[in-house]
Amino acid sequence: MYTSYPIIGDNTIETVRYTTSKHSADSGLVWINETQYFSGVPPQVWNFCLGNHQLCQKWLLDRQGFSLSKEDIQQYQRIIVLLKEIIDSLVEIQVEIQHSQLKNQKIFEKLQIIVAEQLGIEPNQVSLASNFVKNLGADSLDIVELIMVLESTFNIQINDKFAEEFSTPQQIVNYISQKVAV
């Protein structure tokens, strides 16, 4: 990403405003007075807030009435670049979270059917928080058979320690999610 400060002037911050660029909807202009501006500022960067502060705007407003030095201009441009990188990282994190949630949902849907078939109940009776023994009526033989079916279905090996400790579908979903790509 590239941002510029193309107009020569006194660099005094008089009024701060953002306008979209005539050339691209993906970037805009951050005006500091009637003639000078920073160009190439994406709207999501301009609108990015931390707490109650719109960072790009706040930085300039804190300097209102003063003239920006060359170093100030460069620092503001670095802030814009860094905020864009932060936003991109946040988007990547959100995508990963959504992918993980979708993966877990797919595992749970398979698990619901397997548990219902193994225990002779309806799939909608199986929730993530259900206790296999207390809520779903499973006994130790049912649990052993369930483990065998899960290992076969998901092509995984469930370790003995986990097999002895799990009690809910949520625990199984978490375990399988770590072992397979769905």
The single residue of 10, 139, 142, 160 carrying the catalytic annotation is: 139
* β-pair type (49-50, 53-54): antiparallel
139 is catalytic: yes
Q: How far apart are the first and last CA of the chain?
A: 35
Q: Measured between alpha carbons, how far is residue 41 from residues 36, 54, 78 in Å?
A: 14, 14, 11
| CA distance linking residue 19 with residue 46, whole number of Å | 10
Active centre residues (catalytic): 139
